[in-house]
Structure 1
Amino acid sequence: MPIIKKIECQVCFEFCSKSSFPKITSNCNHKLNICKSCVSKHIASQLDSKIERINCPFDRCDQKFNNDDIKNISEELFERFDILILRQTLSKMPEFRWCKNPKCESGQIHFEEDDAPIMTCQACGQKSCYTHDIPWHEDLSCSNYEVNKQGNDEETQDLLEKETKPCPKCGIRITKDEGCDHMTCSIRTCKHEFCWLCFADYEEIRQYGNTSHEPTCKFYA
């Protein structure tokens, strides 16, 4: 009985038959032995990361997989790669929009663009706004939606100004709960202590007393 020579994969270190080591890409010329299973896992990982250009797993080789290379490794991976390239190509088209129904994976080109912003998905019937790329804003034109959105943004900003203040050290806005005006920043990496009313540094207050408060602060003495 002939002895079948096994070759060690230089990624997983498993010993496999020679037939388990495909030519990685059609342009690779190195002698690195990587088994088909490891090459498949490499391609799948790149597809999971939504990477268009899939290079040879050998870090010193800059050759990329073409369609036939991936197809030779796995028909299933090739189908995933083909869909990924199609979706990324469509997403780069300015007139294309994906359906906003989370259960629908369809999309379409909308040639009317902003002149007729209501889009109706041909697959599921979901209405969406071409201009704002969101589900259609019922009872609001695009201009009214913009006004309404701007108003909400201003209300949110007003609330932030009234209810929060920025830490003098890290700048992150924090909220004052009930209690005294001696504040400690809630950000774990900061923990700066300051006066809520005048932002005086409590390190200086401990060292020099209440003269460290601003003269307009009620704690100044």
Structure 2
Amino acid sequence: MSEECIVCLEPKAASDFPTEPLTSTCDHSPCTCLDCIRIAIAVNIGGNLSSRIACPECEEILSHEAIQRYADDVARRKYNDMVIRQALEGFEGFIWCASGCGSGQIHDGGVDQPIVKCTSCGGQTCFQHRSLWHTGVSCEEWDLIRSFPMPSTVSDGLSNGKILDRIRRAREIQASEEVIGKISKRCPGCARSIEKNGGW
């Protein structure tokens, strides 16, 4: 006697279906064949950034044991790598190397000591920005550079250093204007900022 899979709609033998529900919380008997379950798991793992893979019929989350039982070898390896990565990222201060070597480590210095030197490849990662270290530029300056509108053409010739110089100059002008605003007021005649230092 055959049964039709609700996914592929193919008639299958009873042995082509799971003998028990996929999760302990599924309240239905399995109506998806083992081949379709295997494919559903592989597709979910391939396009998912989370290790939470659902039953293809009711959206209950599959256990680690269920994934190991029903997934193919490739999907099982990807799933295990994903679980390990998520576990590592749960540790406070953990950071992946931005050089792309695939290594990571716990950094105790936090944002107070933002340069993380990879113990595997020696590359430097910025702990605050989770990117390659921005050599010669503090994290605050790097934020300013990244927020500054970039030139529309290469001929504008603005390097990060020139952009940084402009930002520093703009900040100096802004700071000067704030001080002038605190210690002076506008002349009612010419509207220039003046400071009263004596007289009536």
- Into which bin does the TM-score normalised by the smaller protein fall? 0.5 to 0.7
User: Could you tell me how far 1:132 is from its partner in structure 2?
Assistant: 2.5
Give 1 or 2: higher helix fraction: 2
Which position in structure 2 is the counterpart of 1:184? Answer: none
The one-letter code matched in structure 2 to 1:100 is A
After superposition, residues 142-157 of structure 1 pair within 5 angstroms as: 142=138, 145-147=139-141, 149-150=143-144, 153-154=147-148, 156=149
Give the total of aligned pairs: 148
TM-score by length of 2: 0.63
Which position in structure 1 is the counterpart of 2:105? Answer: 108
| Pick aligned residue for 1:137 from 127, 134, 137 | 134
Structure 1 residues not aligned, in runs of 5+: 160-221
User: Could you tell me how far 1:128 is from its partner in structure 2?
Assistant: 1.2
The one-letter code matched in structure 1 to 2:121 is C
- SS for the counterpart of 1:63 is coil
- SS for the counterpart of 1:13 is coil
User: Could you tell me how far 1:68 is from its partner in structure 2?
Assistant: 1.0
User: Could you tell me how far 1:45 is from its partner in structure 2?
Assistant: 2.1
> 1:87 & 1:40 partners in 2: Cα distance?
22
Structure 2 residues not aligned, in runs of 5+: 153-200
User: Could you tell me how far 1:30 is from its partner in structure 2?
Assistant: 1.2
Q: For structure 1, which segment, 62-71 or 89-98, has the greater mean C-alpha deviation from structure 2 after superposition?
A: 89-98
> 2:147 & 2:60 partners in 1: Cα distance?
49
| Pick aligned residue for 2:76 from 57, 65, 78 | 78
Question: Percent of aligned positions with the same letter in both sequences?
Answer: 29
> 1:100 & 1:26 partners in 2: Cα distance?
38
Higher normalized contact order (CA 8 Å, seq sep 6+, divided by chain length):
2
Which position in structure 1 is the counterpart of 2:86? Answer: 88
**Alignment root-mean-square deviation, CA:** 2.6
> 2:146 & 2:108 partners in 1: Cα distance?
31
TM-score by length of 1: 0.57
